[in-house]
């Protein structure tokens, strides 16, 4: 058996790049950290991802600045440009890389967003993707005409109808390029008219889903092409993978019609020990003394600013009714978490800061390039993922080492492409072009 046929039997993995902007993994205090706003930063990361033959470049979204104790959160990176506009500009400086933007389905309208996404797809010659999120709190709503709050069930019925409607619009022109009127009447939308763009170069923009509730998983199974998940460990990954892929059949879909891609971080070193040391240093930068207190306050729901981050955890109990934190998922089982943290701190003699570091470390691939490449392959080979959305720590150089050192090893292992075959994002992901349903 030749190398080639052997290699072709292995499952290929997919890679995507998450721009390290507004999130608590971004290390802004590092002297190499650059602007999260300047176009040069986006261009650098996107070009690096394309050099690494990645499927797509990914931007998150937040529509209201987070608050803590009624004041704007000031310890992490704050401020970001608007996703679709940045991605459209990136289409000018890349050729093959997919361009994925997170856009909320609760605070947008189908006609306008379908048009913006189709525009991105046309202007990038078939590289657009939409990550459909449904965050719906009234806090975010205060910036919008729609305003208000939708409960979980409603936001997913709105999101599902939104995606269905967008696809009706994308299919409203004939394959010969003739516009035809559309009309959609449903629970959330009652609209009609003529769409202004022909079917786009990859049929429809790719649809990504991120959200973990049963409703979210069901929505993904029924409507998404890619799932962006937080389940980054082998065990949790396999469970999630099996669960979501298992939901596909009832929608008449094949397992390969939906790619599951956990968001993961990575730290490389010349030796395992070197990588571990770097990872620990990154954790210390992510959890500054001030951030440690803040993380504690987010669980406890009360002001703990008088506590010493290098001292022991507070004896007082959390306030389960607290509304201290605005603009991110609320902690629902505070008493339980606090008990766990106290037990850990007592057992290992950890300070507040050490406890936060230990309990909030997410799945990260830490090791030599060889070890990381092997681990990534194992995830894909054993059904824990179809690929990964890599979240670097640094803007914008955080992907450089990965592309230079890990990608060639994945290629040698025969689990990663050595060139782009097609030009569209759908072709990179191995997804079929949607059948025209005009």
Partner 1 sequence: MTLHLAVSIDQPGAYEAAPYAESALLAERGLLDFVTLGDSFGRPGADALAVLARVAPGTARIGLVPTVTTTHTEPFHVQAALATLDWVSHGRAGWAIDVSESEAEARLFGRRHAAPAGELWREAGEVADVARRLWDSWEDDAEIRDVATGRFIDRDKLHYVDFEGSAFSVRGPSIVPRPPQGHPVTVVDATAPHARDTAARYADVALVRVAGLPGAEAARAELRAAAAGFGRDPDALKVLADLTVDLGDGEAVVDLAELIASWHASGAVDGFHLRPAEPRRDLERLVNGTVALLQHRGLFRTFYPGSTLREHLDLARPANRYAALAGDRHE
Ligand X SMILES: Cc1cc2nc3c(=O)[nH]c(=O)nc-3n(C[C@H](O)[C@H](O)[C@H](O)COP(=O)(O)O)c2cc1C
List the single partner that 102 binds among partner 1, ligand X, none, CB under 5 to 8 Å by kind: ligand X
List the single partner that 57 binds among partner 1, ligand X, none, CB under 5 to 8 Å by kind: none
Binding mask 182-201 for partner 1 (x = CB under 8 A): -------xxxxxx-xxx---
If one asks whether residue 324 binds ligand X (CB under 6 A), the answer comes out as no
Chain centre distance of CA 210: 7
Q: Angle, nearest 10°, between helix axes 334-348 and 289-300?
A: 130
Burial code (b: 16+ CB inside 10 Å, e: under 16) for 301-329 equals beebeebebeeebbeeebeeebebbbbbe
Q: What are phi and psi of 389, to 5 degrees?
A: -105, 110
DSSP-derived pairing of the beta strands 71-72 and 14-18: unpaired
Binding mask 81-120 for ligand X (x = CB under 6 A): ---------------------x-x----------------
Whether 209 and 216 have beta carbons less than 8 Å apart is answered as yes
Extract the tokens encoding 221: 């199974």
Which listed residue (64, 122, 230, 328) binds ligand X by CB under 6 A?
A: 230
Nearest CA to 165 out of 142, 146, 144, 183 is that of 183
Binding mask 188-227 for ligand X (x = CB under 6 A): ----------------------xxxx-xx-----------
**Length, in residues, of the chain:** 438
List the single partner that 29 binds among ligand X, partner 1, none, CB under 5 to 8 Å by kind: partner 1
Round to whole Å and give the CA distance between 216 and 231: 14
Provide, rounded to whole angstroms, the least separation between the CB of residue 32 and partner 1: 13
If one asks whether residue 119 binds partner 1 (CB under 8 A), the answer comes out as yes
Round to whole Å and give the CA distance between 407 and 19: 18
Round to whole Å and give the CA distance between 311 and 307: 7
Round to whole Å and give the CA distance between 355 and 329: 21
Residues between 378 and 437 with contacts to ligand X, criterion CB under 6 A: none
Binding span for ligand X by CB under 6 A among 129-137, 172-180, 301-309, 377-385: 129-137
If one asks whether residue 34 binds ligand X (CB under 6 A), the answer comes out as no
Nearer residue to partner 1 within complex by CB, 8 or 290 = 290
Extract the tokens encoding 377: 């392959």
Residues between 61 and 80 with contacts to ligand X, criterion CB under 6 A: 61-62
If one asks whether residue 72 binds partner 1 (CB under 8 A), the answer comes out as yes
Nearer residue to ligand X within complex by CB, 80 or 342 = 80
If one asks whether residue 430 binds partner 1 (CB under 8 A), the answer comes out as no
C-alpha R_g of the chain: 22
Q: How many Cβ atoms from other residues are within 10 Å of residue 207's Cβ?
A: 21
- Interface positions with ligand X (CB under 6 A): 60-62, 102, 104, 133-135, 152, 210-213, 215-216, 228-230, 263
- Interface positions with partner 1 (CB under 8 A): 28-29, 37-39, 43, 62-65, 71-72, 74-82, 84-86, 88-89, 91-93, 107-109, 111-112, 115-116, 118-120, 122-125, 142-147, 179, 189-194, 196-198, 288-291
């Amino acid at each position: 058996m030749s190398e080639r046929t052997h290699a072709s039997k292995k499952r290929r993995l997919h890679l995507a790049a998450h721009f390290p902007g507004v999130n608590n993994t971004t290390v802004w205090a590092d002297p190499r950290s650059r602007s999260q706003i300047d176009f040069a930063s986006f261009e650098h990361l996107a070009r690096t991802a394309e050099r690494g033959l990645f499927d797509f470049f990914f931007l998150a979204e937040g529509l209201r600045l987070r608050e803590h104790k009624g004041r704007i959160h000031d310890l992490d990176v704050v401020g970001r440009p608007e996703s679709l506009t940045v991605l459209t500009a990136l289409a000018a400086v890349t050729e093959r890389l997919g361009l994925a933007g997170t856009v909320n389905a609760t605070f947008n309208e189908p006609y306008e967003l379908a048009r913006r996404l189709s525009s991105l797809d046309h202007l990038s010659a078939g590289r657009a993707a939409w990550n459909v999120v449904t965050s719906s709190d009234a806090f975010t709503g205060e910036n919008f005409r729609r305003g208000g709050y939708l409960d979980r069930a409603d936001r997913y019925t709105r999101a599902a109808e939104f995606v269905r409607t967008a696809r009706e619009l994308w299919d409203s022109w004939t394959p010969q390029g003739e516009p035809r009127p559309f009309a959609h009447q449903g629970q959330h939308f009652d609209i009609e008219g003529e769409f202004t763009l022909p079917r786009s170069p990859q049929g429809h923009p790719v649809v990504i889903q991120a959200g973990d509730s049963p409703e979210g998983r069901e929505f993904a199974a029924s409507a998404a092409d890619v799932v962006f998940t937080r389940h980054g460990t082998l065990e949790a990954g396999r469970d999630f993978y099996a669960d979501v892929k298992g939901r596909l059949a009832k929608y008449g879909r094949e397992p390969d019609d939906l790619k599951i891609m956990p968001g993961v971080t990575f730290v490389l070193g010349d030796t395992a020990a070197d990588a571990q040391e770097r990872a620990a240093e990154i954790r210390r930068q992510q959890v500054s003394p001030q951030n440690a207190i803040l993380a504690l306050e987010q669980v406890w729901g009360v002001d703990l600013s008088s506590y010493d981050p290098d001292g022991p955890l507070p004896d007082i109990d959390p306030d389960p009714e607290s509304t201290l934190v605005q603009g991110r998922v609320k902690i629902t089982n505070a008493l339980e978490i606090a008990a766990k943290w106290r037990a850990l701190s007592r057992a290992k003699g950890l300070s507040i800061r050490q406890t936060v570091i230990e309990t909030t470390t997410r799945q990260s691939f830490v090791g030599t390039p060889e070890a990381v490449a092997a681990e990534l392959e194992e995830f894909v080979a054993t059904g824990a993922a179809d690929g990964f959305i890599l979240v670097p720590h640094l803007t914008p150089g955080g992907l450089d080492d990965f592309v230079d050192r890990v990608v060639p090893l994945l290629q040698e292992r025969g689990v990663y492409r050595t060139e782009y075959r097609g030009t569209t994002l759908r072709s990179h992901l191995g997804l079929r072009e949607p059948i025209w349903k005009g």
